[in-house]
Structure 1
Amino acid sequence: MKLEEKNLIVERPYKKVYKCDDSVVKVFETTHPKSDVFNEALNTARVEDTGLDIPKVKEVTQIDGKWAIAIEYKAGKTLEEMMEGDRGNLEKYMEDFVDLQITVHSKTSPRLNKLKDKLSSQINSLKEVDATTRYELLTRLESMPKHNKVCHGDFNPSNVIVAKNGKMTVVDWAHATQGNASADAAMTYLLFALKDQEAADMYMKTFCRKSDTAMQYVQQWLPIVAAAQLTKDNELEKDFLMKWIDVFDYQ
């Protein structure tokens, strides 16, 4: 597989993503754990099995000594680009975005890792907060209802591709788990709030209305998912996320 820099579409500290014929090829740095690469491919394949129409895994391979995943290419714009370029229609885009997330949550995949286990592991590994705060977060997590819905884990408009005919496709299933849909919604709210508080508030109201979920219930998840997001070690997000961990009393 020959990749050229002119076909580079995304670059992150741990990976480069290329467009190659009818595939998207993610090439991971040698420091990125091999197990994470295979887990992403496995997660995607398991979500494929639910019947959701997502880009399919084609192969896991090595390119120049680096692990890579080839995934089916879906043509179109990201919903993020459309929201930013057509702000007057933000409400309509948000309605479609939430409908799509609720469709994801309607699926189950018994072999996906459990969201609660992932969150618990992330909180336990967190060095930015003290042991007392970690204990309070874990106690809150344990008290939350256990569900088994498919959760994307990074559901934001940059991970939704809109084709010319308007059909929307969700990409990037690296963080997929099975668990509580409101935890997934809380993470989406935080991802919006990191960039745009107005859109975050619109998202929260739209999700709660369409899913018939109490806003307070989603908000109970916010300190937990903020702590989990802190483990990604993004300095730009740190102060913002710490405020969300501190904002609720643990009674």
Structure 2
Amino acid sequence: MASDPLLSPEETRRYARHLVLKGFGGAGQQRLKAGRVLVVGAGGLGSPAIAALAAAGVGHMTIADPDSVSLSNLQRQTLHRLADIGRNKAQSAARFVADLNPHVETMVLEAGVTAEAATALVRSFDVVLDGSDTLHTRRMVAAAAEAAKVPLVSGAVGQFSGQVSVFAPHLGGPRHEALFPAEAGDADLPSCEANGILGPVTAVIGGLMAVEAIKVLSGIGVPLIGRVLLYDAREAAFHEMMLEGQGAEP
């Protein structure tokens, strides 16, 4: 296997299984290394997504989360350790990334994403992953991604199930409101605190979010645009739901 000129010898060894992967190879790895990802939320969904993207070799991740690690998070938020309790989640996540892969550049937004800065912030990224836990934040991030014409990977979990989709109205896909209409409130969003969550379900959905981000960055496969992939852990089943609605005007 020839060494990729844009990868160091250590990176070539680290990503060897990607480099021999038919349909991905050196070109796909180069695109990952050049990629810039914004992850909103370093909790149940952000944890597996951040870990997978860091391991895969995404070049830059900005991690936004204003919350602090608590003991109850450790049941599913596997980036964080007992020693991180009380620490900002974005800072804890960045520490994990640095320990796992020094080739990934990270930036931390301890204040999270604000409405005033959201659109300008999102413009500097190639893809956004949203694992936040309120519809207010989800709508704000979705509006910013749509305005900036940046694909948004959205995931949600609750109890024994979860879902993931990709929103890219600028590519003809439906808007975020096709899944979460204006009349929906936070009561319609699964709450892990109120209803509980089987820990590994977050790993399944967060991992799928990372796969969709890698697909968008590398150009391989067909992203979940206009579709919602649903996972039911109790039935060990995946289902797909089509979303109606047209994309934004060019």
Shorter-chain TM-score category?
under 0.3
Question: Whose radius of gyration is greater, 1 or 2?
Answer: 1
Superposition TM-score, scaled by structure 2 size: 0.27
Higher relative contact order (CA 8 A, sep 6+): 2
